[in-house]
């Protein structure tokens, strides 16, 4: 560790102005006795949000009985200097850019629900994030080369692949709570305590699959089948519909899952049958802003805050690396032989052992072929987005949109190119210069 005390690591938060998420992570960190004296270095480019994050960190530390060193930095390298762990939670462009990701495609007739992983929304969220990731990678290499970069920023698979290919960093893992909360929900559904089950999942972020799910050696899928058979409302969910046809439950919500396949969003009848909320993420953005303002105002007037843990993976990873406590988490890492029938360049989501040696991914072997087929399509789109940036080729932006399942199902190819041109115009100042070209059809 960078500090004198072996269990007092320096943890840098990049994008700490995402205050609500920062609060949850800090509550989790300070729940561990060994991390109560950590150095928490906060960075954000928004001065008000950074000040709010600092005040929240000090409040949560006091509530948890922790004695951390808390520092706030407008300059990123100062926050990163000698860090042992870097948590990236940046959202480039914030709510304004997210609204663009929905409003421009909607004018072309494209429906989206979340828009942060695949599709036109995911593609352009990645493209405006890549310049930040490249600069962050350069800073880490310069001032904290041995740090673990724990990335929460979406689109996860695109960002992790880009980090691997464009920055040279090797201690990178992408973290998402979808597997954990899926398993919590499934266990509640069948009436079995989560703590008593064993499970195994793998695939890609937001489209991984529950490969095994057991209680006391008994497969729990038959219990789920019985519930689905008798409950019409359960059958009116995308992920349940996909499970019934594919044989394995997907590890993301129905809103997310609907965007990664061609079968649902283009069809009004399916939107109604499966109760899909078009533009749902815009409501989430508004709720996040309201929650931030509530937190800011409470801290300013000395009102109490609710301090709740979130069971996120980053604090668990940090604790395991610092103390040597072994844990299994789900991480997103470059494939490199972990899943045989998915592309080697792609980022996959697999169980990872974490201990003092760091994050060590588990080799899965081959996925069932129907699952791998969907994941390969997903990773094909992801790969083209990364190539657009690493090869300075704006045509690959259009190629990515052409291969995206939901986009291709909804729009003719000339409309896809016009949409990409409009998105480039809308986001131009946030894209690397080589990708700002308007190509026409």
Residue 336 gets the label, from left (phi > 0), alpha (psi -120 to 50) or beta, of left
Domain count, the chain: 1
The pTM of the full predicted model, rounded to 2 decimals, is: 0.94
Three-state SS string over 236-254 comes to CCHHHHHHHHHCCEECCCH
Which two structure tokens, joined as six digits, stand for 224? 């789920």
Residue 249 domain flag: no
Q: Is residue 267 part of a domain?
A: no
Structural domain includes residue 361? no
Lowest mean pLDDT among 90-94, 137-141, 184-188, 194-198: 90-94
Which single residue is written with the structure tokens 């997103």? 332
What is the per-residue pLDDT across 329-373, written as a single tens digit (0 to 9) for each?
Answer: 999 999 999 999 999 999 999 999 999 999 999 999 999 999 999
Cβ–Cβ < 8 Å for 56, 26 = yes
Distance CA 78, CA 270 (A): 51
Radius of gyration of the chain (CA): 21
365 φ, ψ to 5°? 95, -140
> Is residue 298 situated within a structural domain?
yes
Region 296-324: what's the mean pLDDT? 89
Range of the domain at 50: 10-178+291-323
How far are the Cα atoms of 173, 241, 249, 274, 283 from residue 236, in angstroms, in the given order? 34, 7, 15, 5, 22
Domain-embedded: residue 297: yes
Contacts 24+ apart (CB under 8 A), 287-292: 288/20, 288/95, 289/95, 291/20, 292/19, 292/20, 292/49, 292/52
If pLDDT is split at 50, 70 and 90, which confidence band does 282 have? Answer: confident
H or E element in which residue 52 lies: helix 47-64
Residue 106 lies in a domain: yes
- Is residue 78, in this structure, part of any structural domain at all? yes
For the chain, percent of residues with pLDDT exceeding 90: 86
Q: Cα(154)–Cα(156) distance, rounded to whole angstroms?
A: 4
Catalytic-residue membership of 177: yes
Of residues 177, 200, 215, 267, which has the active-site annotation? 177
Cβ atoms of 386 and 161 within 8 Å: the answer is: yes
Rounded Cα gap, residues 160 and 150, in angstroms: 10
pLDDT digits (tens, 9 = 90+) for 16-67: 988 788 889 999 999 999 999 999 999 999 999 999 999 999 999 999 999 9
* CATH code for the domain of 88: 3.40.50.720
2 part of a folded domain: no
Tell me the pLDDT of the chain averaged across its residues: 94
Distances, alpha carbon 329 to alpha carbons 90, 126, 199, 300, 412, in Å: 22, 24, 12, 37, 41
């Amino acid at each position: 560790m960078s500090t004198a005390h072996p269990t007092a690591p320096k943890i840098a938060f990049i994008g700490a102005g995402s205050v609500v998420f920062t609060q949850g992570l800090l509550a989790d960190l300070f729940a561990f006795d060994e991390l109560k004296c950590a150095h928490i270095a906060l960075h954000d480019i928004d001065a008000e949000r950074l000040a709010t994050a600092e005040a929240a960190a000090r409040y949560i530390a006091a509530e948890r009985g922790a004695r951390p060193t808390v520092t706030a930095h407008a300059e990123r390298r100062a926050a990163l200097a000698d860090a042992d762990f870097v948590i990236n939670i940046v959202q480039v462009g914030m709510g304004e850019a997210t609204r663009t990701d929905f409003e421009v495609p909607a004018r072309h007739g494209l429906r989206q629900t979340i828009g942060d992983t695949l599709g036109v929304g995911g593609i352009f969220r990645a493209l405006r994030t890549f310049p930040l990731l490249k600069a962050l990678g350069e800073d880490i290499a310069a001032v904290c080369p041995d740090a673990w970069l724990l990335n929460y920023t979406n689109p996860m698979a695109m960002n992790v692949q880009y980090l691997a290919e464009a920055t040279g960093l090797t201690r990178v893992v992408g973290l998402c709570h979808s597997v954990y909360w899926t398993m919590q929900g499934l266990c509640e559904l069948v009436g079995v305590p989560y703590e008593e089950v064993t499970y195994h999942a793998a695939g890609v972020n937001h489209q991984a699959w529950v490969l095994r799910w057991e209680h006391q050696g008994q497969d729990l899928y038959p219990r789920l089948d019985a519930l689905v058979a008798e409950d019409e409302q359960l059958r009116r969910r995308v992920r349940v519909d996909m499970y019934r046809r594919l044989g394995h439950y997907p590890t993301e919500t129905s809103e997310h899952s609907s965007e990664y396949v061609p079968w649902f969003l283009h069809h009004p009848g399916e939107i109604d049958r499966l109760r899909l909320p078009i533009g749902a993420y815009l409501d989430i953005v508004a709720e996040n802003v309201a929650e931030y303002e509530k937190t800011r105002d409470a801290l300013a007037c000395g009102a109490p805050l609710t301090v709740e843990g979130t069971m996120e993976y980053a604090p668990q990873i940090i604790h395991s690396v610092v103390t040597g406590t072994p844990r299994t988490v789900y991480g997103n890492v470059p494939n490199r032989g972990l899943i045989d029938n998915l592309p080697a360049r792609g980022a996959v989501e697999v169980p990872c052992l974490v201990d003092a040696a760091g994050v060590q991914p588990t080799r899965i072997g081959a996925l069932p072929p129907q699952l791998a087929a969907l994941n390969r399509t997903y990773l094909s789109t992801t790969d083209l987005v990364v190539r657009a940036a690493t090869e300075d080729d704006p045509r690959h932006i259009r190629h990515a949109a052409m291969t995206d399942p939901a986009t291709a199902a909804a729009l003719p190819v000339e409309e896809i190119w016009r949409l990409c041109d409009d998105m480039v115009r809308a986001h131009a100042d946030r894209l690397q210069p080589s990708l700002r070209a308007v190509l026409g059809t």
